[in-house]
């Protein structure tokens, strides 16, 4: 039986909190499985909210509402959270030093978590999806 858990990177998670082109796809997946995230996701959500306010895509009040909703979901254990450990940093470093992908630092850490915990990663990031396939990870790419 397939693992009913999927690791959501931040690009796949954010459409659950803000209406976007990928919202319907993300919601459908959310209704079928347990979503797994790491503490890294929490930091990236905060960064995205701040960026959207700076860019004028959200008001401060809207960002606070989204942050409150996300924080409440964390409190209610809507997501399974996995620990980011030293081995994930080592694996990410190994992939980055291999220079075979265009992975960014935080995406390499997301991928290392997903691979280490034997979870399919769900992402809207094509570079991350391609890298996952290259390193033997399982990936579900959300297309807009």
Residue 1 in this model has a pLDDT that exceeds 60: no
The pTM of the full predicted model, rounded to 2 decimals, is 0.94
Residue 71 resides in a domain: no
Distance CA 85, CA 58 (A): 33
**CATH code for the domain in which residue 128 is found:** 3.40.50.1010
Which helix (DSSP H) or strand (DSSP E) does residue 6 occupy?
strand 5-8
72 lies in some domain = no
Which residues touch 17 (CB under 8 Å, ≥6 apart)? 45, 66, 69, 70
- Is 19 part of any domain? yes
Residue 118 lies in a domain: yes
Residue 107 domain-assigned? yes
**pLDDT, averaged across the chain:** 96
pLDDT band of 144, cuts 50, 70, 90 = confident
Residue 28 placed within a domain: yes
pLDDT in tens, 30-69: 999 999 999 999 999 999 999 999 999 999 999 999 999 9
Q: Positive or negative, the Cα torsion across 130, 8, 94, 137?
A: negative
Signed CA dihedral, 103, 122, 7, 125: sign only = positive
Question: Could you tell me which residues are beta bridge partners of residue 38?
Answer: 82
In a domain, 94, yes or no: yes
Average pLDDT over residues 121-128: 98
- The 3-state DSSP class for residue 19 equals coil
| Full domain range(s) for residue 133 | 5-38+79-141
Alpha carbons 138 and 109: distance in angstroms, whole number: 15
Q: Domain total for the chain?
A: 1
Instruction: Confirm whether 87 is domain-assigned.
Output: yes
With 90 as the cut, is the pLDDT of residue 2 above it?
no
């Amino acid at each position: 039986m397939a693992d009913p858990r999927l690791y959501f990177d931040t690009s796949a998670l954010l459409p659950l909190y803000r209406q976007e082109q990928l919202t319907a796809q993300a919601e459908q997946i959310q209704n079928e499985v347990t979503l797994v995230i790491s503490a890294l996701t929490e930091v990236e959500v905060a960064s995205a909210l701040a960026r959207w306010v700076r860019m004028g895509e959200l008001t401060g009040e809207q960002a606070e509402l989204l942050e409150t909703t996300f924080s409440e979901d964390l409190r209610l254990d809507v997501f399974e959270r996995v620990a980011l450990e030293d081995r994930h940093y080592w694996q990410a470093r190994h992939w980055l030093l291999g220079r075979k992908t265009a992975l960014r630092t935080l995406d390499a850490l997301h991928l290392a978590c997903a691979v280490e915990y034997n979870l399919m990663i769900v992402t809207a990031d094509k570079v991350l999806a391609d890298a996952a396939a290259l390193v033997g990870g399982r990936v579900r790419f959300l297309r807009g």
